[in-house]
């Protein structure tokens, strides 16, 4: 009987949560939804009333509903159809209740943040589908809700590529839509100082601007960059505050300081003035921790805390190679005078100075997990990015922590292996990967769990040049971060999340954001080798989506698939020459992503684009970079491994192909590799600017050498001298013939250009059939 009762209770709970379409569109998933009988209809012109401290939340809701539903709601001094009312019985700084009755909708809270959260839930209830301008029937229900974690965030990096202020506001708007409440702004780095400091004007006069790196040809002279004035940032703080979002500013020290030292060389170690950085990675320049430097940072903190009223100030602390400190007699004397063990202890001492100063101003210091090295000052909190170890160690020592591990919460990572991915780290962090992450590490015991403030996703912008590319990386994965930080872990379910995130993605798209459809897009795979398909004159083709959501439908006559097109049920077998077009459709017959195509013609099967190529053995493609480092518009993107300029056309059908054309693109070689510089593979060049070597059997030779056969070598079938990059075009093509060979073999494309020249990669390889 007890088991039956438990099942009945479970079914009742599921019924309460499985509300009609309007409730099923809520994201993040609320703590509790209790259904009632009947509904209320909200139409154009419906009135909204609010107590004074909920007035701004009501206006934000009205704006969102206008955008996502096309309904114009009117503020009213009287009792509105939608009413915001204070309820002192609701506890929790962000808690709220939404009560839907047949007479109207009430948003109840006891804090401004609670009203904002309730407002965003109502905005979602009023946009359950894409029927723009139509009245909405909202079922009677009561929603009681509060977040699991207090810190639910995103980090934006305008230091590498500057984001105009209107773009930051747009991101704040769409964070608020899913109850994300913390925007961490990475305001300084080697490539730019973005915060106006009135005592030190050169920080933005000089440090906010850089010249792009060279891709060959004339040296770039046009400066790129920008900065935010204090008044602009104060306005952003106010704008975000009205939407329940707190801004956490970051000034990164002691490393990532090239822009700072470029503006004020006396604040560096060597006294030289480097150019503001235009390379990605780890530069050697460090801030000087002497008395002048400490005084400088305190003055910056005075202005920073005057602009940003939030509790936390982020002072970085990451990736600070200590070589300059190690080589400085002055810094070494300081370490000795302070009785410190080493350079890591000096960084800890420095962080402690700033932490105490911030504490005296009623603020708290937070830094990346490297600040644990050398001992963690009592005043510091930790943001853990190198996995969870830093968070576990800090929490167990009694410090507050924010989880932000690179895997899976670095949102500058690509979301799939589809060719439509924009630049970023070429490591897949899918929507499902982010959703599966839990921000409470297993190594933190229950009595220390209160030290976990929450989690955030980081969007580093080395390769994200345009606002659209930043948005593409944020959305829809921001929805997964919202749910894993707001909703109870035991209520999360990927299958239930997918239709809700798809609806939220539609809202973001309606609001003008560039939203990735990677999780829902159809991908095509040819089982076996393409040579097998060409020989059999039948092309096997498998269709799939990353999320497995919706029904895949396809056409072979060139038309766009619809909800009535043929459903994909098993791998296809096609005569070469057919173009397959496919998309997945949800239960309402709506496409979940843009239509994708696959060409089965013999010429297409013999072609491999950059995304189809494989890395040479042991050298994964780690990056996906734009053709032009600072292109103002979206630029073609290319996969590469910056340590070894080698790519493989896998299983080339050499019994069929008689010639090849290689399209090559020249890219900037702008990486500061720090202590990893020695890992670069340099090949001996036999011409002034190196060569493109085309070889057969390269991967087999590499594997044989690893197995102990030093005599194994690939077969060279083509050598093409590379032109002088100072005068040659950025895109090049080379054509060669293939010897008559049997079967499928890997073709390797190796560049031997000097490390002082720009980087080359293969954009495309086209094989032509032997005649």
For residue 3, pLDDT over 80 is answered with no
% of the chain with per-residue pLDDT over 70: 97
pLDDT band with cut points at 50, 70 and 90 for residue 22: low
For residue 543, pLDDT over 90 is answered with yes
271 close to 210: Cβ distance less than 8 angstroms: no
- What value does the mean pLDDT take over residues 518-531? 97
Of 383, 408, 377, give the one whose Cα is nearest residue 318. Answer: 383
Sketch out the chain's domains with CATH numbers: 19-145 (3.30.379.10), 151-471 (3.20.20.80), 522-600 (2.60.40), 607-769 (2.60.120.260)
Of 156, 177, 170, give the one whose Cα is nearest residue 247. Answer: 156
- CA 258 – CA 545 distance, rounded (Å): 43
- CA 165 – CA 427 distance, rounded (Å): 29
- CA distances to 81, 124, 248, 469 from 352, rounded to whole Å, are 54, 44, 19, 37
- Which residue is associated with the tokens 């293969």? 762
For residue 18, pLDDT over 60 is answered with no
| 224-262: pLDDT as tens digits | 999 999 999 999 999 999 999 999 999 999 999 999 999
Beta strands in 321-386 (DSSP E): 364-368, 380-384
For residue 20, pLDDT over 70 is answered with no
For residue 4, pLDDT over 70 is answered with no
466 close to 453: Cβ distance less than 8 angstroms: no
| 75-85: pLDDT as tens digits | 999 899 999 99
- CA distances to 372, 418, 465, 699 from 414, rounded to whole Å, are 29, 9, 15, 26
| 129-143: pLDDT as tens digits | 989 999 999 999 999
- What value does the mean pLDDT take over residues 9-37? 65
| 283-306: pLDDT as tens digits | 999 999 999 999 999 999 999 999
pLDDT score, position 11? 33
pLDDT score, position 358? 96
Classify residue 276 by its DSSP letter. P
For residue 13, pLDDT over 80 is answered with no
| 83-105: pLDDT as tens digits | 999 999 999 999 999 999 999 99
The neighbour count for residue 597, using CB atoms within 10 Å, is 12
The neighbour count for residue 231, using CB atoms within 10 Å, is 10
Characterize 197-227 residue by residue with b for buried, 16 or more Cβ atoms within 10 angstroms of its Cβ, and e for exposed: beebeebbebbbbbbbbbbbeeebeeebbbb
Sheet of strand 32-42: strand arrangement? 32-42, 136-145, 96-101, 104-109, 82-86, 47-50, 74-75
- CA 328 – CA 339 distance, rounded (Å): 17
Classify residue 450 by its DSSP letter. G
- CA 171 – CA 175 distance, rounded (Å): 6
- CA 318 – CA 340 distance, rounded (Å): 20
156 close to 53: Cβ distance less than 8 angstroms: no
pLDDT score, position 6? 34
- What value does the mean pLDDT take over residues 5-29? 50
% of the chain with per-residue pLDDT over 90: 90
Spatial CB neighbours of 14, under 8 Å, sequence gap ≥ 6: none
- What value does the mean pLDDT take over residues 550-561? 97
308 close to 247: Cβ distance less than 8 angstroms: yes
For residue 282, pLDDT over 70 is answered with yes
Q: For the purposes of burial, counting CB atoms within 10 Å of the CB of 64, is it exposed (0-12), middle (13-18) or buried (19 or more)? A: buried
The token pair at 563 is 């909800």
The token pair at 209 is 């601007």
Sheet of strand 744-751: strand arrangement? 614-615, 646-653, 744-751, 691-696, 715-721
Q: For the purposes of burial, counting CB atoms within 10 Å of the CB of 68, is it exposed (0-12), middle (13-18) or buried (19 or more)? A: buried
Residues in the chain: 771
For residue 430, pLDDT over 90 is answered with yes
Task: Report how far apart the first and last C-alpha atoms of the chain are (Å, whole number).
Answer: 79
Average pLDDT of the chain is 94
311 close to 303: Cβ distance less than 8 angstroms: no
For residue 409, pLDDT over 70 is answered with yes
Active site (catalytic) residues = 319
pLDDT score, position 16? 35
pLDDT score, position 23? 65
Residues 24, 15, 175, CA angle at the centre, nearest 5°?
Answer: 25
pLDDT score, position 635? 87
| 438-482: pLDDT as tens digits | 999 999 999 999 999 999 999 999 999 999 999 999 999 999 999
Three-class secondary structure assignment of 65-91:
HHHHCCCCCEECCCCCCEEEEECCCCC
For residue 173, pLDDT over 90 is answered with yes
Measured in degrees and rounded to the nearest 5, phi and psi for residue 266 equal -65, -15
pLDDT band with cut points at 50, 70 and 90 for residue 701: confident
The token pair at 682 is 């340099």
- CA 541 – CA 630 distance, rounded (Å): 38
In this structure, the dihedral spanned by the alpha carbons of residues 76, 81, 86 and 92, taken in order and rounded to 10 degrees, is -130
Beta bridge partners of 144: 32, 97
- CA 674 – CA 309 distance, rounded (Å): 36
């Amino acid at each position: 009987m007890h088991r039956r009762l438990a099942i009945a209770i479970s079914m009742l709970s599921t019924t309460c949560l499985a509300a009609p379409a309007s409730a099923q569109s809520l994201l993040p998933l609320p703590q509790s939804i209790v259904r009632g009988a009947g509904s209320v209809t909200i139409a154009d012109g419906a009135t909204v009333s609010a107590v004074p401290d909920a007035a701004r939340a009501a206006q934000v809701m009205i704006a969102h509903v206008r955008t996502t539903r096309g309904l114009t709601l009117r503020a009213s001094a009287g009792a509105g159809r939608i009413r915001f009312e204070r309820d002192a019985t609701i506890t929790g700084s962000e808690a709220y209740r939404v009560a839907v009755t047949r007479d109207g909708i009430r948003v109840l809270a006891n804090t401004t943040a609670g009203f904002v959260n309730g407002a965003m839930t109502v905005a979602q209830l009023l946009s359950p589908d894409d029927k723009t301008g139509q009245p909405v029937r909202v079922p009677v229900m009561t929603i009681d809700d509060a977040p699991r974690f207090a810190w639910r965030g995103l980090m934006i990096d305008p230091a590498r590529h500057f984001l105009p202020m209107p773009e930051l506001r747009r991101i704040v708007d769409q964070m608020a839509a899913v109850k994300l409440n913390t925007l961490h702004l990475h305001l300084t780095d080697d490539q730019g100082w973005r915060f106006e400091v009135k005592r030190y004007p050169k920080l933005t006069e000089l440090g906010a601007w850089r010249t792009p790196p060279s891709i060959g040809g004339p040296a770039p002279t046009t400066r790129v960059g920008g900065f935010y004035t204090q008044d602009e940032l104060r306005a952003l703080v106010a704008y975000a505050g009205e939407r329940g979002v707190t801004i956490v500013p970051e000034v990164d020290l002691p490393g990532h300081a090239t822009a700072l030292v470029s503006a004020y060389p006396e604040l560096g170690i060597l006294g030289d003035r480097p150019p503001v950085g235009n390379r990605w990675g780890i530069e050697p320049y460090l801030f000087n921790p002497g008395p002048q430097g400490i005084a400088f940072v305190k003055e910056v903190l005075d202005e920073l805390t005057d602009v940003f009223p939030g509790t936390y100030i982020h002072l970085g602390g990451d990736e600070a190679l200590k070589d300059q400190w190690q080589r400085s007699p002055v810094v070494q004397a300081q370490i000795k005078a302070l009785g410190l063990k080493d350079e890591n202890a000096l960084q800890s001492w420095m962080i402690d100075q700033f932490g105490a100063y911030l504490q005296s101003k009623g603020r708290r210091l937070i830094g990346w997990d490297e600040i644990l090295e050398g001992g963690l000052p009592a005043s510091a909190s930790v943001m853990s990015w190198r996995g969870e170890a830093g968070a576990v160690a800090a929490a167990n020592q009694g410090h507050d922590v924010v989880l932000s591990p690179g895997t899976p919460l670095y949102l500058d990572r690509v979301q799939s292996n589809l060719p439509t991915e924009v630049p970023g780290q070429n490591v897949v962090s899918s929507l499902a990967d982010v959703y599966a992450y839990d921000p409470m590490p297993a190594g933190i015991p229950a009595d220390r769990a209160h030290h976990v403030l929450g989690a955030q996703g980081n969007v580093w912008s080395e390769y994200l040049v345009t606002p659209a590319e930043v948005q593409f990386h944020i959305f829809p994965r921001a929805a997964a971060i919202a749910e894993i930080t707001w909703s109870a872990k035991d209520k999360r379910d990927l299958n239930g999340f997918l239709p809700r995130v798809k609806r939220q993605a539609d809202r973001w798209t309606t609001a003008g954001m560039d939203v990735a459809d990677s999780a829902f897009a159809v991908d095509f795979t040819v089982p076996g080798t393409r040579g097998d398909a060409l020989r059999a004159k039948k092309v096997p083709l498998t269709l799939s989506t990353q999320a497995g959501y919706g029904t895949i439908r396809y056409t072979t006559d060139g038309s766009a698939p619809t909800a009535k097109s043929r459903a994909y049920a098993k791998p296809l077998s096609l005569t070469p020459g057919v173009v397959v077009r496919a998309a997945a459709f949800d239960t309402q017959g709506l496409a979940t992503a843009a239509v994708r195509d696959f060409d089965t013609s013999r010429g297409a099967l013999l072609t491999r684009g950059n995304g189809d190529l494989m890395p040479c053995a042991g050298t994964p493609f780690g990056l996906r970079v734009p053709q032009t480092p600072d292109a103002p518009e979206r630029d073609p993107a290319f996969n590469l491994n910056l340590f070894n300029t080698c790519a493989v056309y896998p299983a080339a059908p050499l019994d069929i192909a008689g010639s090849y054309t290689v399209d090559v693109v020249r890219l900037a070689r702008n990486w500061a590799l720090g202590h990893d510089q020695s890992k670069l593979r340099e090949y001996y060049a036999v011409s002034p600017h190196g060569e493109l070597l085309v070889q057969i059997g390269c991967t087999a030779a590499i594997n044989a050498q690893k197995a102990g056969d030093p005599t194994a070598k690939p077969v060279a079938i083509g050598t093409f001298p590379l032109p002088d990059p100072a005068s040659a075009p950025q895109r090049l093509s080379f054509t060669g013939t293939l010897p008559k060979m049997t079967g499928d073999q890997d073709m390797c494309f190796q560049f031997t250009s000097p490390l002082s020249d720009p980087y080359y990669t293969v954009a495309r390889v086209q094989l032509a059939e032997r005649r």
